[in-house]
Amino acid sequence: MGLLDGKKIVITGVLTDASLAFGVAQLALDQGAEIVLTGAGRALRLTERTARKLNVPGDGAVDVFELDVTMPEHGDAVRAAVDAKWGRVDGVLHAIGFAPEACLGDDFMAAQWDDVAIAMHISTYSLKMLADTFVPLMENGGAFVGLDFDNQQAWPAYNWMGVAKSALQSVNRYLAKELGPKGIRSNLVAAGPIKTMAAKSIPGFALFEDTWDDRAPLGWDVQDSEPVARAVIALLSDWFPATTGEIVHVDGGYHAIGA
């Protein structure tokens, strides 16, 4: 018996089989869920190809729907498609983030508002957009879980993406307040650094890799996304019925150590 037996789960952010979201998708299937994936723009075909790498029980296939979080009409179309397929949604993984090149790197002051606005729209407001899309299909309650990188402090090179993640944490709290009366939870998983396509786009990512394993009390493997996926699956399951607005750290304990 799996933790997600009978659950209908929407998973965003699968680009390659190294994506954190791919690990979540595979573990969700292993734990008894039915899933669909979403992709956007030029990356949609990449998501479709990667979906075929999932080990689906019974040799089935996973549907992939187009969802650009900057286009409300995409949300309407995906909601209709998922409603026709399942009639409900039990959980959604938010694994969406993007910042223009000017928002990352050595110069925090270089980014202009037009760049920052893109980062905030795609990386932060998108969680609210997913709620707009799927809450109408959660009449019996459900769960949103977002992938996060904790920003209680400033990080080298992360810059405006760090600001966007801090704002995401605030959106998570307000969604928890707003959706709780409907029986819908909203939580984040603050993951340690994992070698993904998204990580490769961050200048100076090696600075995180080089120090994390030494400082994390439990150690940390930048190649192993399974601990993150397990936390997400637990939060999507019924095992955390009274937990919402939370940030669960899956980082080997790094966040708790001062020096």
Give the catalytic positions in this structure: 158, 165
- Cα separation of 81 and 189, whole Å? 28
**Alpha carbon distance, N-terminus to C-terminus of the chain:** 42
Instruction: Single out the residue of 62, 1, 10 nearest to residue 32, CA to CA.
Output: 1
Cα distances (angstroms) measured from residue 78 to each of 1, 87, 91, 136, 211 = 30, 12, 15, 12, 41
200/209 Cα distance (integer angstroms): 11
